[in-house]
Structure 1
Amino acid sequence: MARRNNLLIFILTIGVFGILNTEMGVIGILPSISEHFHVSVSKAGWLVSFFALGVAVSGPTMPLLFSGINRKKVMLLVLGVFVLGNIVSIFTSNFTILLIARIIPAFFHPIYCSLAFTVAAASVSKEEAPKAVSKVFIGVSAGMVVGVPIASFIASVTSLQMAMVFFAIVNGIVFIVTLIFVPSLPVEERLSYGTQFSVLKKSITWLSIMTVILLNSSVYGVYSYLAEYLKTVTNIPSNTISLLLFIYGVANIIGNIVAGKLLTKNANKFVASFPFILGTVYILLFLFGPFTLPMAFITLIWGILGGVGGNINQYWLSSSAPEAPDFANGLFISSCNVGTTIGAAVGGLFISEMGIQYIVLVGILSLMLSLVTILLRNYMYSPTKQLSV
């Protein structure tokens, strides 16, 4: 049983890597897409922004719609949609068709990721669930970080089409191993849509949603401009910036492993301490931004905390609505995308008004607000004061 569960979690991890790789990997080939399809780089960027918008819109609803269907069949459907979208992307010469081939899979993205977290948590005991979910998060981090340089390298060495073949191969392999090795996963107790929607009546759910939005804003409101910060404030060359971004990505994966262990202990206290820890890192980032070696160390620690933060977000929302895990994970995915969008937008305003060196204020402000929602939830959800307003 343990071996089967480990194999299942490994397949889910590779699966979310393939999904996130398709979403984020295109960032590394935007200049090639711009040149190949004869569009501006900003227009090519629609492939990223429209995908994220599709995920944010479908996050709460699509997992809900498919929540009563055998989970293996749903996984195969989503992976099939991604493979077909990848194949169309390889052969099309029309940018509009390429955009459509990206947008359609985006609506199915939350279904697979939501199921991956739910199935991983359900495959082990309740106490070990955060650890199992943290393993799946390794695939999320790897897909967001590793896919970008790999796709860029393939496109530079071979062609744009071969980079897209890479996306298709990863998803195709996961489809095949899911078909062969993943057992049938029927839904034992189908929840009505009304039952799942009812979690939105609880104040604990909305506090958790606000926390996830704010925590994700605190990370990506700053991280989105890390390359520019390193270039302008730290004043380091582009190849060193690439190295530090890679360090951040690897550290992010380490953070997933660390978070799984910490969340299996006293989760509420650990989550409440997170804004203080990350806030301290941002203060150090502001003080030592001009210095290369301190920035390398700060980036490493920040990357670990970024991975931890992702796990905290998933745990915080799923634990607020354990009676509707698929819907809760869909809310998590959507809330993260909203937080990323808000953080990046506010970060842009801070940069235009105050300068890039003050970007850390976006993170610190978001953390201060998140601490309020975290402490309020801890108070309301304490063993002696369980309120369901």
Structure 2
Amino acid sequence: MDKQNKLIILILTFGVFGILNTEMGVIGILPSLAEYYGVSVSQAGLLVGLFALAIAIAGPTMPLLFSGIDRKKVLLLVLAIFVLGNIATIFITNFTVVLIIRFISGLFHPVYVSLAFTIAADSVKKEEAPKAIAKVFIGVSAGMVVGVPIVSFIASVASIQMALAFFAVTNALVLIATLLFMPSMPVKEKLSYGSQLRILKKSITWLSIIGVIFLNASVFGVYSYFAEFLTSVTNMPLNTITIMLFLFGLTNIIGNIVAGKLLTQNAIKTVVAFPFALGAVYILFFLFGELTIPMAIITLIWGIIAGIGANINQYWVMSSAPEAPTFANGLFLTSANIGVTVGSAIGGYFIAQMGTQYVILVGFISIILSLVFVFLRNYRYNNVQNNPLNSRVS
């Protein structure tokens, strides 16, 4: 990989950090935002929920819509929308208007992220693509997990306005770097909308999408209530929980790096092994959830495995439709967000019915369902590969 490609991937990594941090960073300051906008905490939660809904809606459509335009111009457009949206949320105190702004930003989220994965993969040799994508995923993990305690810290030592300004500054810096250092990237081979939509006719695409929904639900169905688990089951103090969440984010990044190597060496074995590794971690959660030191160690391991899982999800959908990479990445983002929604909803149900420690069950159920679709997908792939009449996986 030459210096220019390394710089491009670095900019994209910080870019997805800014985009994902705009989405998830508000989680740690929801009570403060509720007070700032004059609404309840549950209403403030719509700042996250509507953003995720916009991503789920736009995932399959928006990347497809922009697939034929110069990639640099698209990146700049999305970053500009996020910068303006971030700035507006600082000064506008009307909650409804802020929700509309975040919903619009959410619609453009999958455009940038799916394009970042595609550009990273195109910048290296085909066999090195998982490693390049894994580097971009560092920004995804940092934005989703590490950004939360950073924004919370800024709000606690400065103000809620400064915390919101962090989103704007981050995206503005990436916008400047993209403008100055990224070359023009016209689409060399424009794919028609019809040719890209054709991947939806392939059974392997749908098996991959459903598999990813359950794979992501197996992680986020538990992680969504991790702080509550540490509070009510492990009895950790609030400052220790903040440290645990931060450590989870750091090990998540390590998992991204490990995933790039594993997927490059043997992707299928990595995907099949992941649910079993995650299941083993959840057994440890259930057995030692009340003990602080074992939980700290288990959390570090879980963070690494979760980081690997994020890369697996992208690979699983992308590899099912390599002929339409940007559209496939959009489908990945939609399926991943549906997984978060499904997992968190079922996790909340188990907590309400059985108690917080039983949130682990949503992880186990999702793992079992994901394995079904992983094996069905592998069976379909092998069946087509062994049939000489098929030139493409269908």
The TM-score, its normalising length taken from structure 1, stands at 0.98
Pair 1:384 & 2:349 matched: no
Q: Which moved more, 1:266-275 or 1:312-321?
A: 266-275
| Residues in 2 aligned to 1:130 and 1:97: alpha-carbon distance in whole angstroms | 40
Q: Which moved more, 1:378-387 or 1:70-79?
A: 378-387
Deviations 1:242-276 (A, max 9, x none): 11111111110100000000000110111111111
1:301 partner amino acid: I
Unaligned runs of 5+ in 2: none
1:1-389 to 2 correspondence within 5 Å? 2-382=2-382, 383-384=385-386, 388-389=393-394
Identity within the alignment, %:
67
| Residues in 1 aligned to 2:122 and 2:226: alpha-carbon distance in whole angstroms | 37
Deviations 1:207-256 (A, max 9, x none): 10011100000000011111111111112211111111111111101000
| Residues in 2 aligned to 1:53 and 1:324: alpha-carbon distance in whole angstroms | 24
Shift in Å, 1:304: 0.5
Shift in Å, 1:384: 2.2
Give the SS at the match of 1:146. helix
| Matched residue count | 389
2:75 partner amino acid: M
Which ranges of 4 or more aligned residues in structure 1 deviate by more than 6 Å? none
Deviations 1:172-210 (A, max 9, x none): 010011011000111111111111110010011001001
Give the SS at the match of 2:246. helix
Deviations 1:89-128 (A, max 9, x none): 1111211221122111110000000000000000000110
| Residues in 2 aligned to 1:368 and 1:67: alpha-carbon distance in whole angstroms | 35
Shift in Å, 1:359: 1.2
2:298 partner amino acid: I
1:235 partner amino acid: N
1:388–1:257 CA distance, 2 compared to 1 (3 A): closer
Deviations 1:47-81 (A, max 9, x none): 11110111111011000000000000000000000
Q: Which moved more, 1:20-29 or 1:216-225?
A: 20-29
The answer to whether the 8 A contact 2:55-2:107 is kept is yes
2:386 partner amino acid: T
Shift in Å, 1:388: 4.7
The answer to whether the 8 A contact 2:320-2:393 is kept is no
| Residues in 1 aligned to 2:113 and 2:306: alpha-carbon distance in whole angstroms | 18
Give the SS at the match of 2:127. coil
| Residues in 2 aligned to 1:361 and 1:26: alpha-carbon distance in whole angstroms | 27
The TM-score, its normalising length taken from structure 2, stands at 0.97
Give the SS at the match of 1:128. helix
